[in-house]
């Protein structure tokens, strides 16, 4: 969703805001803006663009406001089209109070009506604009107190950064159901939607909790509840480095992040898996006895993370023999939950901030279920709100389409399944050792897939002339097919569907013809023969077939239109290797079509609103 940043310190604020917004652009890029308190001039300079951050930067370079306090915003539109007037920052009637916001103010219509009746004039269609006007309404000489009173009236989700002309040394941040961090530098402070915006400046970060506010002055930052009660905020040290959040010579973050997959897998495994397949998680340290209590596992996630959950569901049932169920968190939250103390709830979320997933997590926790978050972001809301956490340690992922973290999620699911299987005594030592060996060789096997890059690009070039695709797989490869289709559609805007091989005949096959290719995952697994039958069926309908097969398997050479060989591996490892192939395929199709791979239209990296 939207990205926000604020700065207070000794440097010129504008370049810091510009740099921060560039780093936050993956959260949304419909429009952008900054407000800087201009020193000496006793006025706030507001600059906005109705398009991406680059346009804003060009405007600022022509006319750079000078000041040491400022806020910036890159928008993913919810209320109101992406126009200049709707771009943030928004101000009060006199331009004294400036506010940037990520989230949705649910009661904005009634507040706006009330404020208009009191004489406030609104210029935008946004929900956000009620915030500066509400603060203005309550302002009696104490900005912080006015902010507090205003926030008491607001319902919904917000991360806010704000300042007032009247208090030139005060930057205020507040959050409710949307993330906000405070960066603590040497004599300078930042507030930001996430850590990536500020890593070039500081690694010391304070993560605001739900319903907390930070008042930042040159003397330090004070955290309170929205009611003003002091909160002891914990400062964490971030181990991401700035080069991880830059392209480093690659044309796109997505390609860089796919290339980082071997390292992401090593990081997800590091210190967790012994040669004998014994698994331990530092931040989720439940004993065997404790884990044996669970009769069921629920896995919640959205989008790519839901596909990882489906893989988890499959291996947990298969290896540990425990009933497992992957659920779309946005649907789960509106159903009558049937889980309880004997359910282990696993929430899968790269960002740790997906609104629907967080609500699902809280509902599960409220029903007495033990919760564990699998996430890439240390200190994220999911990690903080869960009983345990399994961190991916993949480093920042900037490309909007998840790639390396999907793979790290799959590795984490395998480790979790192995942990549960061991605790429940459902896996032999030999099998554990076999799984451990396979997982440990994965980084090298992925490197081999990456080395086949040119061949995948060649096929992508050829297939980019089609407008519709059907991805098909069985077993673990069913969610892999769904994820392959999602990746293609989100970055190339082509129509792509995923189906299980069995389901194909029950409807989707009707779509197929010579212009509707099938991407068939036919690597070695228990259902390979069935997949080959599916390929026969679709070839009989004239559909071109791009088949993924295990290296050395020539069964489909004369049947499929094209074949990509994937290093031979067991089913779990193979699902990962095929996923990397499909990510590269989607990437190259999108590049071929001239799409904006890192910032696909209408999408945002982290969906912090419902
Ligand atoms: C697709 C993608 C999204 C996310 C989804 C959940 O490439 O990245 O589908 O997977 O929005 O996000 P997280 O994992 O942050 O909860």
Is the distance from CB of 89 to CB of 43 less than 8 angstroms? no
Ligand 1 centroid distance, CA of 401 (Å): 7
Is the distance from CB of 405 to CB of 376 less than 8 angstroms? yes
Determine the pLDDT at residue 437: 97
pTM of structure: 0.85
Looking at the chain, which residues constitute the CATH 3.60.20.10 domain(s)?
3-245
Is the distance from CB of 496 to CB of 485 less than 8 angstroms? yes
CB of 599 closer than 6 angstroms to any ligand 1 atom = no
CB of 490 closer than 6 angstroms to any ligand 1 atom = yes
CB of 349 closer than 6 angstroms to any ligand 1 atom = yes
CB of 137 closer than 6 angstroms to any ligand 1 atom = no
For β-strands 156-164 and 181-184, DSSP reports them as unpaired
- Name the phi and psi angles at 186, rounded to 5: -85, 100
Per residue in 449-470, pLDDT tens? 999 999 999 999 999 999 999 9
Is the distance from CB of 392 to CB of 305 less than 8 angstroms? no
Please report the beta strands in 307-427, taking only residues with DSSP state E, as ranges in sequence order.
324-328, 343-349, 370-375, 388-391
Quickly list DSSP for 112-135.
HHHHHHTT----SS-STTHHHHHH
* List of the chain residues with pLDDT < 50: none
- CATH code: domain 3-245 is 3.60.20.10
Per residue in 43-92, pLDDT tens? 899 999 988 889 999 999 989 999 999 999 998 877 778 788 999 999 99
Looking at the chain, which residues constitute the CATH 3.40.50.10490 domain(s)?
253-440, 453-592
Say which CATH superfamily domain 453-592 falls into. Answer: Glucose-6-phosphate isomerase like protein; domain 1 (3.40.50.10490)
Q: What is the DSSP letter of 514?
A: T
Per residue in 357-379, pLDDT tens? 999 999 999 999 999 999 998 88
In angstroms, rounded to a whole number, what is the distance separating the alpha carbons of residues 93 and 563? 64
Is the distance from CB of 158 to CB of 101 less than 8 angstroms? yes
Determine the pLDDT at residue 249: 86
CA distances (Å), origin 263, targets 6, 410, 517: 33, 14, 33
CB of 376 closer than 6 angstroms to any ligand 1 atom = no
253-277 burial, b at 16+ Cβ within 10 Å, e below that, comes to: bbbbbbbbbbbbbbbbbeebbeeeb
Q: What is the mean pLDDT of the chain?
A: 94
* Token pair of 164 as six digits: 């007032």
| 3-state secondary structure at position 378 | coil
Ligand 1 centroid distance, CA of 463 (Å): 26
In angstroms, rounded to a whole number, what is the distance separating the alpha carbons of residues 469 and 457? 17
Per residue in 558-575, pLDDT tens? 999 999 999 999 999 999
Is the distance from CB of 297 to CB of 323 less than 8 angstroms? yes
Q: 253-440 adopts what CATH topology?
A: Rossmann fold (3.40.50)
Determine the pLDDT at residue 30: 83
Ligand 1 centroid distance, CA of 303 (Å): 5
Per residue in 6-26, pLDDT tens? 999 999 999 999 999 998 887
Q: Is 2 a catalytic residue?
A: yes
* Token pair of 100 as six digits: 């940037």
Ligand 1 centroid distance, CA of 254 (Å): 14
Query: Closest by alpha carbon to 471, among 391, 585, 305?
Result: 585
Determine the pLDDT at residue 41: 67
In angstroms, rounded to a whole number, what is the distance separating the alpha carbons of residues 5 and 20? 7
Q: Is 22 a catalytic residue?
A: no
């Amino acid at each position: 969703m939207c990205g926000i940043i604020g700065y207070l310190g000794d440097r010129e604020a504008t370049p810091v805001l510009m740099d921060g917004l560039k780093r936050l652009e993956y959260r949304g890029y419909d429009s952008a803006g900054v407000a800087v308190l201009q020193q000496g001039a006793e006025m706030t300079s507001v600059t906005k663009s109705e398009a991406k951050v680059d346009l804003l930067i060009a405007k600022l370079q022509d006319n750079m406001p000078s000041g040491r306090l400022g806020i910036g915003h890159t928008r993913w539109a919810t209320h109101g089209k992406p126009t200049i007037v709707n771009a943030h920052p928004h101000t009060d009637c006199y331009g004294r109070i400036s506010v940037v916001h990520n989230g949705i103010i649910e009661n904005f219509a009634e507040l706006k009506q009330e404020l208009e009746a009191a004489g406030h004039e609104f210029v935008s269609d946004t929900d956000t604009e009620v915030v500066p006007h509400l603060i203005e309404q309550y302002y009696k000489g104490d900005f912080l107190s006015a902010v507090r009173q205003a926030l008491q009236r607001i319902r919904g989700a917000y991360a806010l950064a704000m300042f007032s002309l009247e208090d030139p040394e005060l930057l205020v941040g507040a959050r409710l159901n949307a993330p906000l961090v405070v960066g603590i530098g040497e004599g300078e402070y930042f507030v930001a939607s996430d850590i990536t915006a500020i890593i070039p400046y500081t690694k010391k970060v304070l993560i605001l909790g739900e319903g907390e506010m930070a008042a930042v002055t040159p003397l330090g930052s004070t955290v309170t509840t929205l009611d003003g009660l002091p909160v002891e905020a914990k400062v964490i040290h971030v181990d991401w480095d700035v080069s991880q959040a830059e392209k480093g010579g690659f044309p796109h973050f997505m390609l860089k992040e796919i290339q980082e997959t071997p390292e992401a897998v090593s990081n997800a495994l590091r210190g967790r898996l012994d040669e004998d397949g014994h698994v331990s998680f530092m931040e989720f340290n439940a004993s065997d006895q404790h884990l044996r209590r669970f009769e069921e596992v629920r896995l919640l996630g959205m989008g790519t993370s839901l596909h990882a959950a489906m893989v988890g569901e499959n291996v947990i049932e298969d290896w540990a023999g425990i009933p497992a169920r992957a659920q779309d968190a946005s649907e789960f939250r509106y159903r009558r939950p049937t889980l309880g103390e004997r359910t282990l709830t696993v929430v899968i979320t790269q960002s740790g901030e997906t609104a629907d997933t967080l609500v699902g997590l809280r509902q599960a926790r409220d029903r007495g279920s033990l919760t564990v978050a699998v996430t890439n972001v240390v200190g994220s809301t999911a990690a903080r709100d869960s009983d345990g956490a399994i961190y991916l340690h993949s480093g920042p992922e900037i490309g909007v389409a998840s790639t390396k973290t999907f793979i790290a999620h799959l590795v984490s699911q395998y480790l979790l399944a192995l942990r549960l299987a061991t605790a429940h005594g459902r896996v032999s030592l030999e099998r554990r050792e076999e799984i451990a060996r396979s997982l440990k060789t994965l980084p090298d096997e992925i490197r081999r897939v990456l080395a086949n890059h040119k061949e995948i690009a060649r096929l992508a070039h050829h297939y980019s002339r089609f407008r519709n695709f059907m991805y098909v797989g069985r077993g673990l490869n069913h969610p892999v097919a769904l994820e392959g289709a999602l990746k293609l559609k989100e970055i190339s805007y082509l129509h792509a569907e995923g189906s299980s091989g069995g389901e194909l005949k029950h409807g989707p096959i009707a779509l197929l013809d010579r212009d509707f290719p099938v991407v068939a995952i036919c690597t070695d697994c228990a259902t390979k023969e069935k997949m080959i039958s599916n390929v026969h069926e679709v070839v009989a309908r004239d559909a071109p077939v791009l088949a993924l097969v295990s290296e050395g398997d020539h069964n489909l050479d004369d049947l499929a239109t094209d074949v990509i060989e994937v290093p031979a591996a067991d089913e779990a490892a193979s699902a990962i290797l095929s996923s990397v192939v499909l990510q590269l395929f989607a990437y190259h199709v999108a590049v071929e079509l001239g799409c904006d791979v890192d910032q696909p239209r209408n999408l945002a990296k982290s969906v912090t609103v419902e």
